Structure 1
Amino acid sequence: MPAATDLHVVLGAGGAVGSSVVRELASRGHRVRAVNRSGRVPALPGVEARKGDITTAAGAKAACDGAQVVYHCAAPAYDRWVQEFPGMTDAVRQGAAASGAKLVFADNLYMYGPVSGPMTEDMPYAAENPKGRVRAEMAQALLAAHRSGELRVAIGRASDYYGPGGVNTSVGATVFAAALGGKTARWVGALDQPHSLSYLPDIARGLVTLGEDARADGQAWHLPAAEPVTGRQFLDLVFAELGRPGRMGTLGRPMQRVLGLVNPTVRELGETWYQRDRPFVSDTSMFTRTFGPLAVTPHSDAVAATLDWYRANPRP
């Protein structure tokens, strides 16, 4: 039966994107159920923490019960996407449908494969690598469920993220924690190629906009972000905010191959290296034309907030 209450359920609420969505929803006055495996989330007014396993249909249905909108922000470990992500997302689809809820899926840009210009939502899903194909298949399955009338679906796509709580990302500890500690801040890939980067609170605002607006239904959307920057420009912003010079370097393809021998997450970066050696830019104009301008955070302000978080949460 359709949900009759203003309950927004966030799955994967302990992760970087999910926790940002929880905070955004709470700031807008929604009732929020924050679901993750531990049941531990930051205490916020109007937020109910719940422990749940959404990898099964029964677990997902319990997590989504009574929801008006469900935000699927959960993901398996990066090196387990192919094996585990489709099953999890299918369970979430069943859970959201059983509650009569709208489903908002936090997606990325892998499905397009190598591109020769800015990415737009009408591009074909041309990825041939396993992670790109999995992303494409999940998006296609969810949009097919929307077309069939099983449930309402909207998909929000962001590029590499950073921000408070953003640890498991290529623009995380190897940049911010390293720079704070006086170590070499390393950019993954070429330093001088433009790259879209998404700030976590901006991602959350975009996803919640999709959840609140029926015009988002049945479509994938590129979420607004600040202007693309090169790795060198981004690292310069980090050191400018620190107020001192620092050492910058790259994790290039040869080093990625060597480190990948012992680190499965680094090893997995190889299949999408085309995102690192050429421009990787997201066109977000369709979102802006439809919903109006979303005030994105300038990179300088976002970098400052991220450094503050890493100062307060030092990495071991």
Structure 2
Amino acid sequence: MNVLVLGATGYIGSAVVRRLTRDGHQVVALARSGSSPVDPTARVGDLADPDSLRAAVTDDIDAVLHLATPTGREETDAAAVDALLDRLRGTGRPFVYTSGVWVLGVTGDRVADESSATDPLDIVGYRPRIERRVLAAADADVRAVVLRPGIAYGHGGGIPAMMVGWAREHGHGRYVGTAGTRWPMVHVDDLAALYALALDKAAPGSVLHGIALPAVPTAALAAAADVAAGGTGRAEPWPVEQAVDVFGEPFARALAADQTVSADRTATDLGWRPRERYVTSDLVAGSYT
């Protein structure tokens, strides 16, 4: 397939591009307006310019993956999604929209699955409405799918890399909030494999969860991050009120959100089998050291 990828150079996007290329797909990256893409096959477009997105989805594009970072403005992000879907209506071609588990809110011990109601954290407050726009396109003969990744790790990147940086800066590991906070997580390569499966097999209107580890204690991640930074495995809580001064309230509250999220339905429906389930080992003796 010729796959148009928005966000192809990002942390997750880069892993997805590697996987699609390995699987024999032709990746067509979307480069922002005003940039000079090295890849001659790249298309120029911008989330703030719906016409440029429509122009990028030419008849030779077989599928669209939206992994671009949201702008933070609902009208802009909704118009961008609508522009892409406009070019796919009536074609049956796949469209995969990247959302995230933060739309599920704080779950605590309650396990949220693909059918759970959304209760978004402030940082993603409008994203469930974007999800509904995407899923509604399934009624217009678009194989539209929403994919919600967990906290991605691997290859020394993602939020865990930030935690290693905190440990280096402060002399010990840090986790925002309390010792009871847990994150649903997934290795970025396993997540890339799920995107490839979504292109090939996901049913129109599906909500998919990219989760391999349903609830990883952030205190354990902070201790492992301290080891990665050369420490002894010491971890201390970082009060949310103090983290707000560094990250702003929406992101600090998201880092402190306790979640337990399942991807059992996704794994069953698509035959997805994550291989990497050892995030602390990767921190202590893998790609983060």
TM-score range, shorter chain: 0.7 to 0.9
Asked if residue 19 in structure 1 is aligned to residue 1 in structure 2, the reply is no
Deviations 1:164-210 (A, max 9, x none): 3745x4x332x123445674433232233332122222221111111
Cα displacement (A) at 1:110: 2.9
TM-score (norm 1): 0.77
Whether the 8 Å CA contact 2:220–2:280 is kept in 1: the answer is: no
237-246 or 185-194, larger mean C-alpha shift: 237-246
- Give the Cα separation in 2 of the matches to 1:185 and 1:233: 9
- Could you tell me how far 1:286 is from its partner in structure 2? 0.2
Task: Choose from 187, 191, 215 the match for 1:203.
Answer: 191
Matched, 1:89 2:81: yes
The whole-number CA distance in structure 1 between the counterparts of 2:12 and 2:180 is: 27
Rounded Cα–Cα distance in structure 1 between residues aligned with 2:191 and 2:46: 24
Q: How many angstroms apart in 2 are the aligned matches of 1:28 and 1:201?
A: 13
Secondary structure of residue in 2 paired with 1:172: helix
8 Å CA contact 2:4, 2:27 repeated in 1: yes
- The answer to whether the Cα contact below 8 Å between 1:36 and 1:52 also exists between their aligned partners in 2 is yes
Q: Whole-Å Cα distance in 2 between the matches of residues 34 and 203 of structure 1?
A: 19
The separation in 2 between residues aligned to 1:62 and 1:99, in whole angstroms, is 16
Q: Distance in 2 between matches of 1:10 and 1:111?
A: 23
* Structure-2 residue corresponding to 1:314: none
Residue 88 of structure 2 is aligned to residue 108 of structure 1: no
- Give the structure 1 partner of residue 215 of structure 2: 228
The residue type paired with residue 105 of structure 2 is G
Deviates more, 1:177-186 or 1:200-209: 177-186
Secondary structure of 1:70's partner? strand
Which of 47, 57, 82 matches 2:50? Answer: 57
1:276 alignment partner, one of 245, 252, 256 = 256
- Counterpart residue number, 1:134: 126
Structure 1 unmatched ranges of 5 or more: 1-5, 260-264, 309-316
CA distance in 2, matches of 1:242, 1:115: 31
**CA contact under 8 A between 2:224 and 2:233: conserved in structure 1?**
no
Task: Tell me the residue number matched to 1:73.
Answer: 67
Give me the whole-angstrom Cα distance separating, in 2, the residues matched to 1:36 and 1:98. Answer: 26
- Cα distance, 1:31 vs structure 2: 0.9
Q: Distance in 2 between matches of 1:165 and 1:48?
A: 29
Aligned length: 283
Percent of aligned pairs with the same amino acid = 21
- Indicate conservation of the 8 Å contact 2:50/2:79, yes or no: no
Q: Is the 8 A contact 1:8 1:67 kept in 2?
A: yes
Number of the residue aligned with 1:36: 31
Q: 1:230 to 1:63 in 2, by over 3 A?
A: same
Q: Is the 8 A contact 1:8 1:33 kept in 2?
A: yes
- Give the Cα separation in 2 of the matches to 1:11 and 1:191: 36
Does the 8 A contact of 1:154 with 1:219 survive in 2?
yes
Contact 2:172 2:226 in 1 (8 A): no
Deviation, 1:74, is 0.6
1:262 maps to: none
From the superposition, tell whether residues 188 and 39 of structure 1 become closer, same or farther in structure 2 (CA, over 3 Å): farther
* Offset of residue 12 of structure 1: 1.1
RMSD after superposition: 3.0
Task: Output the CA distance in 1 between the equivalents of 2:228 and 2:99.
Answer: 30
Normalised TM-score (structure 2) = 0.83
Distance 1:250 1:40 in 2: 43
Unaligned ranges ≥5, structure 2: none
Q: Is the 8 A contact 2:28 2:41 kept in 1?
A: yes
Matches within 5 A, 1:280-291: 280-291=259-270
Per the alignment, residue 186 of structure 1 pairs with 174
Q: Distance in 2 between matches of 1:164 and 1:90?
A: 33
